[in-house]
Amino acid sequence: MMMRKTGDHEGPMGTIAISGSASGIGAATRAMLEADGHTVIGIDLRDAEVIADLCTDEGRRSAVADVAQRCGGALDGFVSGAGLGPPAPAASITEVNYFGSQNLLEGLRPALAAASGASVVQIGSNSTTITPNVPDALVEAILDEDRRAITAVLDDIGEPFDSAIAYGASKIAITRWCRRQAVTDEWVGQDIRLNVIAPGAVQTPLLERGDDDPVYGPLTTQLPVPTGRGTPDDIATWITFMLTPAARFACGSVVFVDGGSDALIRTDDWPSTFST
């Protein structure tokens, strides 16, 4: 019922980098930001200003250097959205989803600090809370950057479900990294807001590859989504809002926008009490 027009703006426009800009949520966010007059530096394997493979150290380093050069050393925002999901190989999923995000966040931090009041949105996932049986040891191994331990846990799980477990674990790890960093001198202390959005089942190429898979299809298509599946635009609206100064009191938050799957499956688990 209540409408708000997009495409209106005032004041200086910003320069925002987006990883995973060529498809899905990244592409929808790009279109919305450009409609609002912002300059977008896209990072992807194709159809982007910065072509880079975030599955490799070299690709991540070149992406950081290229973005820093293109933004002239000051970046107003970053949407860390590049990601892989099942049925991609488990090892590639952890490389892109965790290291591809974490390396770019760290690498672009100086350019973000050089801007005035930069905002960063990491794309997490509700797979962090609704994927059963993700081993905490895998989350810890990823956060420790211990690739030997990562491989050991994933080998232990084995195909085909190692990919789904790697997806959930990599998204928990990057979310946790963001929550740990957001409140530090390096981030909030430099006036950079770092928050996470946790989308649910959104009709994107990533999810559709899962739907079409003989093993994962029955799982993804049967996931209960109380509102029905979302569209990339349903997430891009939140991301573009979270990038604005109007959203600046959020810091280290994990914003679930998932059609109710987390509320349905983990209803009473959060918020939870704690004891001292």
Catalytic site positions: 167
Contact 75, 114 (CB under 8 A): yes
**Of the ranges 81-89, 132-140, 154-162, 214-222, which one interacts with a second copy (CB under 8 A)?**
132-140
In one-letter notation, the amino acid at residue 26 is: G
Q: Which of residues 173-202 bind a second copy (CB under 8 A)?
A: 175-176, 179-180, 182-183, 188, 193, 198, 200, 202
Cis? peptide before 224, omega within 30° of 0: no
222 near a second copy (CB under 8 A): no
Helix, strand or coil, per DSSP, at residue 195:
strand
Burial class (CB in 10 A: 0-12, 13-18, 19+), 186: middle
252 near a second copy (CB under 8 A): yes
148 near a second copy (CB under 8 A): no
272 near a second copy (CB under 8 A): yes
Q: Which residues fall within 8 angstroms of residue 36, CB to CB, at 6 or more apart?
A: 6, 7, 8, 9, 13, 240
270 near a second copy (CB under 8 A): yes
226 near a second copy (CB under 8 A): yes
Of the candidate residues 128, 170, 204, 220, the single one contacting a second copy (CB under 8 A): 128
Q: Which residues fall within 8 angstroms of residue 6, CB to CB, at 6 or more apart?
A: 32, 35, 36, 240
In one-letter notation, the amino acid at residue 81 is: G
234 near a second copy (CB under 8 A): yes
219 near a second copy (CB under 8 A): no
162 near a second copy (CB under 8 A): no
Tokens standing for residue 86: 């099942």
For the bound state, the minimum distance from the C-beta of residue 20 to a second copy, rounded and expressed in Å, comes to 19
Tokens standing for residue 57: 């150290």
Q: Which of residues 78-107 bind a second copy (CB under 8 A)?
A: none
Of the candidate residues 172, 206, 223, 239, the single one contacting a second copy (CB under 8 A): 172
133 near a second copy (CB under 8 A): yes
Give the number of residues in contact with a second copy, rule: CB under 8 A.
Answer: 86
Compare residues 36 and 213 and give the one whose CB is closer to a second copy: 36
In the stretch 38-77, what mask flags binding to a second copy with x, by CB under 8 A? x-------------------------------------xx
Contact 124, 79 (CB under 8 A): no
**Of the ranges 17-25, 95-103, 156-164, 239-247, which one interacts with a second copy (CB under 8 A)?**
239-247
Contact 19, 82 (CB under 8 A): yes
Q: Which residues fall within 8 angstroms of residue 140, CB to CB, at 6 or more apart?
A: 149
160 near a second copy (CB under 8 A): no
Compare residues 57 and 218 and give the one whose CB is closer to a second copy: 218
Phi, psi of 196 (to 5 degrees): -125, 135
How large is the angle between the packed helices 147-157 and 136-143, nearest 10 degrees?
160
